[in-house]
Amino acid sequence: MRPNRKAEKWQPWSLAILSGGLQVLIFPSPSLGFLAWIALAPLLVAILRPTIPGSAAHTRQPRLRAFLLGYVSGVVWYAGSCYWIYHVMNSYGGLPPVVAIAVLLLFCLYLALYHGVFGLLLWTATRAGNANAGPALLLSPFVWVAVELARARITGFPWDLLGTAQVGNIALTRVAMFTAVYGLSFEIVLVNAGFAAAFLVPLRARRTLVAGVLAVAALLQAGNLFRPGPAASGRVATLVQVNIPILEEDQWTPEYMQQTVGEVERTSVPAARDAEAQQGIPGLIVWPESPAPFFATDRNFRASLSHMAQLANAYVVAGSLGLKQTPGEERPRLFNSAALVAPSGEWVAHYDKIHLVPFGEYVPYRQFFSFAGKLTREVGDFSPGSTRQPLDLGSFKLGVFICYESIFPDEVRQFARNGGEAFINISNDSWFGPTGAPGQHLNMVRMRAIENRRWVLRSTNTGITAAIDPYGRVVAVAPAGQRVALNAPYARSSETTFYTRHGDWFAFGCAIITVAGLLFLHYSRGPGPLIWTRN
């Protein structure tokens, strides 16, 4: 039978698109995490199979083709996972639908370069097209983690790193205390490489290899069945979901501002008093990052928070906007902040967000992207803070990170390394609208709890407001889209994990091994171990 040349031509591209689609399905909202074990296998086969002699698609695959196969897979992945960018740009950026779609497309085309680099490096590991897929498959987990590290360190958008798909797998996530989420990504890609190998070996060996890899994947996935007992808590915090609408600047009149603050205060105080009665010590009230212009320099806002702290006999951590002007500056700098108010009513400390959202909290290269300034129309451009020191509550310390900062493992761990005994995450996820993004964001916060073995108290504007234990489990959650106060358990801990103390050693190690492996394969002689297909 003559081979179908047209089908052969398009098969690798179909596999790349399939891989991108599977990567979408493993994250919220589908949340089909078990598919993570096969999500990358089609892409690995698409990149490596054409390099194998005896296969129907055998060719000396050019570098560009390998890059483009990874690139296409990445475009599909970003479009399917980050489609919420269209909602943000259209609903709150004031962009027409066509322009908002164009912005989303540019975003996907830009960040898909990382998937493309992954494909290119895999091709390089085949020694410029020689029949040598074995080393490439063995090297693929290291390459993937190195590329994820680049996403975090270079572009600054490590959204939905692959290992996050297994955040509910308590047995498996124990490795994250040593390697962060990167260790989980490594394991997932290693299993995917096993499945890919099954399609790059002679048929007589395929059944055995598939059975073996399936057994490994099933064993690792079975970690979801592990259910340890409740984590020790002992303290109660009042997490307030303020449910404040996103309005134009001129809609925030002094009267409406005072009315809003008063209503949120009346929601907070009764719950905080109940929490104090339960634990017999001053409580903790957390207000989220919100779209309201809650300026820390506003006398009325300061007086309201001070009054609430005294009334509830509680510490208050509240999202706010800080202003600071130094001599020589034309205008004050604006900060996205979390203010700390003591039970006495005194404003005692604050944390200024360091890692700002590009095109959300500041506009890089504004002369080229002036349209994106609409996203910051309610407050203007922010300046970054300078230190990740925890807030001192007297008896213990709280590490506070704001919204977007939660997706950076190395940045969050610094709060624990600097003495933070519990974490607070405040966020305004109402920008995302009815998409899968709030769930994706929550899962990344859960991973930060696991990596550092810390309780996380998460307060958001419209949801998902929750308490997360050190296993990454959501133990209390508020109903979305409502103004409500949630009394949530938590505990303090002074112990640090290996990852908290040593940071991204594993990810950097994978990057070093990737470079060393590619150099070795390039300069070594001989065909090396061979994985190939003969039909």
Mean local confidence (pLDDT), 254-264: 93
Check residue 490 and give its pLDDT. 96
Q: Give the number of other Cβ atoms within 10 Å of residue 401's Cβ.
A: 28
The average pLDDT across 126-155 equals 84
Residue 79, helix vs strand vs coil: helix
The confidence band for 533, taking pLDDT boundaries of 50, 70 and 90, is very low
pLDDT tens digits, one per residue of 59-101:
555 788 899 999 999 999 999 999 999 988 888 877 889 989 9
pLDDT tens per residue across span 480-521: 999 999 999 999 999 999 999 999 999 999 999 999 998 888
Predicted confidence at residue 462, as pLDDT, reads 93
Give the strand order in the sheet containing 333-341: 347-352, 333-341, 314-324, 283-287, 235-241, 484-490
CA distances from 69 to 11, 83, 118, 140, 199 (A): 11, 21, 10, 15, 17
Choose, from 403, 405, 421, 451, the residue flagged as catalytic.
403
Catalytic residue (choose from 187, 289, 421, 451): 289
Copy the structure tokens of residue 316. Answer: 């208050």
- 125 pLDDT tier (thresholds 50, 70, 90): confident
Is 353 catalytic? The answer is yes
pLDDT category, 8, cuts 50, 70, 90?
A: low
Pairing of strands 333-341, 314-324: antiparallel
Residues listed for the chain: 535
Residue ranges of E strands in 288-432: 314-324, 333-341, 347-352, 391-392, 397-402, 422-427
Q: For the chain, what is the largest distance between any 2 Cα atoms, rounded to a whole number of angstroms?
A: 85
Q: How confident is the model at residue 163 (pLDDT cuts 50, 70, 90)?
A: very high
Q: Which of 353, 397, 405, 421 is catalytic?
A: 353
CA 79 to chain centre: 16
Beta-strand runs (E) in 247-376: 283-287, 314-324, 333-341, 347-352
pLDDT of residue 3: 53
**Average pLDDT value for the chain:** 88
CA–CA distance, 185 with 201 (Å, rounded to integer): 25
pLDDT confidence of residue 370: 58
Residue whose tokens read 């190939």: 532
Residue whose structure tokens are 């399905």: 25
Question: Which distant-in-sequence residues (6+ apart) come within 8 Å of 383 by Cβ?
Answer: 333, 334, 335, 352
Look up 403 and say whether it is catalytic.
Answer: yes
The runs of H, that is alpha helices, within 151-221 are 176-179, 181-198, 203-221
Distance CA 14, CA 36 (A): 18
Per-residue pLDDT at 208 exceeds 70: yes
> What would the two tokens of residue 123 be?
């091709």
Q: pLDDT tier at 379 (50, 70, 90 boundaries)?
A: very low
How far is C-alpha 375 from the chain's CA centre? Answer: 21
- What's the pLDDT score for residue 535? 39
193-204: pLDDT as tens digits: 999 998 887 777
3-state secondary structure of 402: strand
